[in-house]
Amino acid sequence: MTFADGLKAAALLFVAAIAQVSIFSQLHVFGGVPQVVLVTLVGVSLLRGALVGAVAGFFAGLVIDTAMLGQLGLTSLVLTVSGYWIGRYGETTGRDRGHAPFLSVAVVTFLYAFGVLLVHFMLGEPAPGGAVMRSLLPTIVMNLVLTGPTYLLVRVLLRPRERADYATEVQLLG
Amino acid sequence: MVRRAVLAVLVLVALALLTISFRSPTSGILHDAQSYGADALRPFQVAAVRVARPFRDAYNYVDGLARAKSENKKLEKMVRDYRAQALLNASAVQQNNDFKKLLQFESGPQYPQDFRAINAAVISFPSGAFSQQVVIDAGSDSGIHLNTPVVSADGLVGKVTQVGHTTSVVTLLTDPNSAVPARDLKTHVSGLIRHGQGGTLILDRVSKDQVVNRGDWIITRGTVDRRYPDEYPYGIPIGRVVAVGTSDIASFLTVQVQPLASISSLDAVAALVPKHPRAKP
């Protein structure tokens, strides 16, 4: 990951986070809201790995929490774990798979919703499980619709890594 | 190894931020830093809203056209009814003012004449089931403080629950934590407005022996005891009763209220600041 790549990823996630809180959060379709920041994070994490994914998730969460004057750290916590998990998937099983972005988006949308629900529940705040369940399917569908163009844009900005770049750790068995 | 260490550090930092933020949500160094951060992000949010506005307006225009014909008939009938009602109200207000003068009646700030409206654009919107809050483009620099009531052109929207220098968070009526003392304008029955299903509201704590009718107007109840000034002045319209139900096992009536303000599509709101703040008792 070069400095220019880092800058591009940061700019991309910054724009996505601002668009999320100011534009996309208004688009309620059957109770679901498209999560462009999550979809962008999936793209960045798949293309740049777990480490970048975790840092990118933390950064995007911080921007959202700051812009919304919400509880600092809440979105960062869930997005950091999400970014790391997607990055690991991209480095291992999901490598070179065409369906990886779509599968990641579907799974991470599900996990993100329940992650946020869990944090709210643990903080003793209202955690409307029923409402989250009802909005989950439309949210996944909308996120999947966003995945194609968003991933394409991320791929244009962040060139996929060379095959040799993936092997960062080798463990000898036996 | 490095990856896991970075992940652990980031998770710990996020947890630390969350803990501090949760313990002191409205004050402290972290709140100040967040407020300055929000100030820095504000121009980007405003720009994003402006970019999206033409598309939103176009959608609303097409949507409005599709519903205009059926709505027109309904509105014409409403205008006739309101015209008759307005005449009666004007005479009642005149009479009320005369009585107040005779009784030397003292009261807190009256809505709307004793309040200054700070108009602000909505720059962030609630996303998902957890957050029923919006961020508005005005903060303590404009005179907004905690618990300032916020209205739209149609009625009550919520109150300010977080104040930054140039932005504020408004917790909407549809938030699970919101509770507004309210009353039925016609039958004078009091209760608490809470969030209900599907964007509606519930007038809660209304005992079964009281009467609330479908179509009644619900307004804010205002200050009951001067020692505990209410956050909402008397008389802000909230909504209209759309259904009244009861069951054998429930202790209270189920009064469903349709909010007047279209809470899910707010563009701009007004925060109500008293022109002459009352001295604390």
CA distances from B55 to A133, A143, B253, B264 (A): 29, 20, 42, 17
ipTM of the complex: 0.84
Phi/psi class of residue B48: alpha, beta or left (left: φ > 0; alpha: ψ in -120 to 50)?
alpha
Assess contact for B210 and B187: CB atoms under 8 A: yes
**Is A153 strand, coil or helix?**
helix
Average pLDDT over residues B242-259: 84
pLDDT at B23: 83
| Minimal Cβ distance to A72: which of B34, B41, B125 | B34
Asked if residue B154 has pLDDT above 60, the reply is yes
pLDDT at B229: 57
pLDDT at B157: 92
Whether the bond between B274 and the residue before it is cis, its omega within 30 degrees of 0, is no
Q: Locate A138 and state its tokens.
A: 């439309």
Give the model confidence (pLDDT) of B13-64 as tens digits: 999 999 988 887 777 888 888 889 988 998 999 999 888 888 888 888 887 8
Q: How far apart are CA B178 and CA B181, in angstroms?
A: 10
Assess contact for B39 and B165: CB atoms under 8 A: yes
Tell me if A26 and B265 make a contact (CB, 8 A cut-off).
Answer: yes
| Minimal Cβ distance to B17: which of A28, A73, A169 | A73
Maximum average pLDDT range among A142-151, B116-125, B257-266? A142-151
Please tell me the distance in Å from A130's CA to the nearest CA on chain B: 9
Q: How far apart are CA B212 and CA B141, in angstroms?
A: 42
CA angle A89, A84, A143 (to 5 degrees): 75
φ, ψ of residue B232 in degrees (nearest 5): -115, 125
Tell me if B49 and A22 make a contact (CB, 8 A cut-off).
Answer: yes
* Residue listed under structure tokens 């014909």: B69
| Minimal Cβ distance to A120: which of B10, B130, B264 | B130
Q: How far apart are CA A6 and CA A9, in angstroms?
A: 5
pLDDT at B83: 87
Percent helix, strand, coil in chain A, to 5, is 75, 0, 25
Give the model confidence (pLDDT) of A113-136 as tens digits: 999 889 888 888 777 788 888 889
Asked if residue B279 has pLDDT above 60, the reply is no
| Minimal Cβ distance to A58: which of B14, B164, B176 | B14
Tell me if A69 and B135 make a contact (CB, 8 A cut-off).
Answer: yes
pLDDT tier for residue B150 given thresholds of 50, 70 and 90? very high
- Percent of chain B with pLDDT strictly greater than 70: 93
Assess contact for B116 and B147: CB atoms under 8 A: no
pLDDT at B101: 79
β-strand partners of A32:
A29
Tell me if B17 and A72 make a contact (CB, 8 A cut-off).
Answer: yes
Least confident of B140-154, B188-202, B225-239: B225-239
Tell me if A76 and B10 make a contact (CB, 8 A cut-off).
Answer: yes
Which chain B positions have a beta carbon within 8 Å of A23's beta carbon? 48-49, 51-52
Give the model confidence (pLDDT) of A6-59 as tens digits: 899 999 999 999 999 988 888 878 878 899 999 999 999 999 989 999 999 999
* Residue listed under structure tokens 């080798």: A170
pLDDT at B153: 86
Say which residue, A156 or B107, is predicted with more confidence. A156
Tell me if B130 and A69 make a contact (CB, 8 A cut-off).
Answer: no
Average pLDDT over residues A70-84: 92
